Amino acid sequence: MLIKNRQPAATGDNLKTICITDLLGCEVFRTELQSKMSRQQIELPSLQPGIYLYSIHTINDTKSGKLLIE
């Protein structure tokens, strides 16, 4: 999974954490992100194939969506 920080690091709207849950709402992955990096790649080898929900938290916002692991 590749995460892109669309805001320049100087704005303060930097990536902070990503959380992945299964469809039952159980957290299966959480990590703190390096805020000064514009891109980060996250390896998820322990996740079984299926549909998951993710949320990416920044200082000012939260983005969420679905994640398909094949």
- Residue 22 CB: number of other CB atoms within 10 A? 15
**Per-residue confidence (pLDDT) for residue 9, from 0 to 100:** 46
Round to whole Å and give the CA distance between 68 and 65.
10
**Per-residue confidence (pLDDT) for residue 35, from 0 to 100:** 63
**Per-residue confidence (pLDDT) for residue 10, from 0 to 100:** 45
Q: How many domains does the chain have?
A: 1
68 lies in a domain?
no
59 lies in a domain?
yes
70 lies in a domain?
no
pLDDT digits (tens, 9 = 90+) for 10-69: 444 566 888 999 999 999 999 887 666 667 778 888 889 999 999 988 888 888 999 998
